[in-house]
């Protein structure tokens, strides 16, 4: 391994750690604050779910802008500013006296999280790691968030119980400022896409034009798959803890089950990533989505007196190991389809559409819960969306090395 390659993998490790810290304390813990905020601010589940939606929308609306700026301003500046914005948003959320203010604060924080995690992380890695190892590198990037999902929800839950939800939000902000910002300043190169840093691989200006990409059925089918999975995932993920608590599980038990989802996701990245090397990323992803569909329905009997814990564990394994696979494997498929010419911008558009669609998940679940006083109908709808996602994935055609129409 050359010095350039070693430096590239060090960057992957650093970005994975930042994802662990930032996503683990923000995206992975929003569900923990739903009930305390509902009580403190005298709000309905649907109103508080709107704050979650605002976080998700802001997180993804910034994606095209981030992709466009990476080549012009520099990865280091963009990601550091993102981490600082995330901290500012969470400090503001801790001071919120109304649901409106809380919603605005989470949106502000979500934009910051979007500027320092997944999209810029994938972009930097695609320039710092050789092509044949990028699937593994993307998996390691996402594994960081899975570790964060396993660790931080338990700690944040204990912190909320021991202090209050406002103090917990302030600690999240402190973590972003004191840990994520220094790591990003130290490791992230200024202009990785141009090779100016001395550690990046030169990327020739080949690949699809924007017009060609927009005319490709494969590009839109992959985007549709991610949109359907995103709505389903967001309609379940943020409500796992409230569902378990409403089903009679203790707060520590609910937090442990929620944390186990992160462990399962990390295992899923490794298993399905290795499988992709044998059967290809398309079929590995399709198989994973089938397991995810089954898992979405397995959560329903978790409130049953006899099947409860067994169903909950089955849900954690089947759904937890697979719900994030599109984030790992579709960038590989898209990079092969699009080439590096306009990858940053097109990947940003892809994530924008996915985020906007995914933001409907919390709203839909919150509305259905307020209407039925149960999460059962919402979770069934999420499972049905996964069925459509599997069907769309099977329609994507691939060639020996490049997707085509």
* Tens of pLDDT, residues 352-405: 888 788 878 888 998 898 888 888 899 999 999 999 999 999 998 764 334 444
Mean local confidence (pLDDT), 178-205: 65
How far is Cα of residue 267 from the mean position of the Cα atoms in its chain?
A: 16
3-class secondary-structure state, position 1: coil
Helices of type H across 95-177: 99-114, 118-128, 134-162, 165-175
* Confidence class for position 200, pLDDT limits 50, 70, 90: very low
151-178 CB burial, b ≥16 within 10 A, e <16? bbbbbbbebbeeeebbebbbebbebbbe
Nearest of 160, 164, 219, 154 to residue 353 by alpha carbon: 219
Indicate whether this model's pTM tops 0.85.
no
pLDDT at position 2, please?
76
Per-residue H/E/C for 298-336: HCHHHHCCCCHHHHHHHHHHHHHCCCCHHHHHHHHHHHH
> What are the tens digits of pLDDT across the range 250-294?
888 888 888 888 788 888 888 887 788 778 888 989 999 999 999
Mean pLDDT, rounded, for 129-151:
79
Asked if the model's pLDDT at residue 305 lies above 80, the reply is no
Backbone torsion region of residue 183, taken as left when φ is above 0, otherwise alpha when ψ lies between -120 and 50, otherwise beta: alpha
Residues in the chain, total:
405
Residue 34's nearest CA partner among 56, 54, 52 is: 52
Q: Compute the average pLDDT of residues 180-206.
A: 63
Check whether 46 has a pLDDT greater than 50: yes
Q: Round to whole Å and give the CA distance between 87 and 396.
A: 40
Lowest mean pLDDT among 93-107, 131-145, 198-212: 198-212
pLDDT at 124 over 70: yes
Shortest CA distance to 299 belongs to which of 388, 389, 226, 378? 378
> For the chain, what are the domain ranges?
3-395
Q: Among the listed ranges 72-76, 132-136, 152-156, 291-295, which one has the minimum average pLDDT value?
A: 132-136
Task: Output 333 or 83, whichever has higher pLDDT.
Answer: 83
CATH superfamily of 3-395: MFS general substrate transporter like domains (1.20.1250.20)
């Amino acid at each position: 391994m050359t010095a350039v390659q070693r430096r590239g993998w060090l960057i992957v490790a650093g970005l994975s750690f930042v994802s662990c810290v930032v996503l683990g304390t923000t995206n992975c813990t929003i569900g923990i604050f739903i009930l305390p905020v509902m009580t403190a601010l005298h709000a309905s589940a649907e109103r508080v779910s709107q704050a979650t939606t605002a976080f998700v929308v802001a997180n993804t609306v910034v994606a095209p802008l981030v992709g466009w700026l990476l080549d012009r301003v520099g990865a280091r500046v963009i990601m550091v500013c993102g981490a600082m914005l995330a901290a500012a948003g969470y400090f503001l959320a801790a001071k919120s006296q109304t649901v409106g203010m809380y919603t605005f604060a989470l949106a502000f924080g979500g934009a910051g999280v979007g500027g320092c995690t997944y999209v810029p992380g994938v972009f930097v890695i695609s320039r710092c790691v050789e092509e044949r190892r990028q699937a593994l590198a993307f998996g390691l990037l996402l594994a960081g968030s899975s570790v964060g999902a396993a660790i931080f929800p338990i700690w944040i839950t204990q912190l909320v119980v021991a202090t209050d939800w406002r103090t917990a939000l302030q600690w999240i902000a402190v973590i972003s400022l004191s840990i994520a910002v220094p790591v990003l300043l130290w490791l992230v190169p200024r202009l990785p896409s141009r090779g100016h840093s001395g550690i990046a691989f030169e990327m020739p200006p080949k690949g699809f034009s924007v017009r060609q990409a927009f005319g490709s059925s494969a590009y839109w089918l992959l985007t549709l798959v991610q949109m359907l999975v995103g709505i389903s995932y967001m309609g379940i993920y943020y409500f796992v803890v409230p569902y378990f608590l409403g089903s009679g599980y203790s707060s520590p038990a609910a937090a442990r089950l929620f944390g186990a989802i992160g462990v399962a996701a990390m295992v899923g990245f490794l298993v399905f990533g290795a499988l992709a090397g044998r059967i290809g990323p398309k079929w590995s992803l399709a198989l994973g989505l089938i397991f995810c569909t089954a898992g979405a329905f397995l959560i329903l009997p978790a409130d049953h007196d006899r099947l409860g814990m067994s169903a909950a564990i089955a849900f954690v394994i089947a759904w937890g190991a697979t719900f994030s696979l599109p984030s790992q494997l579709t960038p590989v498929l898209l990079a092969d389809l699009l080439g590096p010419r306009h990858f940053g911008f097109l990947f940003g558009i892809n994530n924008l559409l996915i985020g906007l669609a995914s933001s409907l998940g919390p709203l839909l679940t919150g509305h259905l819960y307020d209407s039925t006083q149960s999460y059962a109908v919402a979770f069934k709808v999420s499972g049905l969306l996964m069925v459509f996602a599997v069907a769309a994935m099977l329609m994507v055609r691939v060639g020996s090395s490049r997707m085509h129409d």
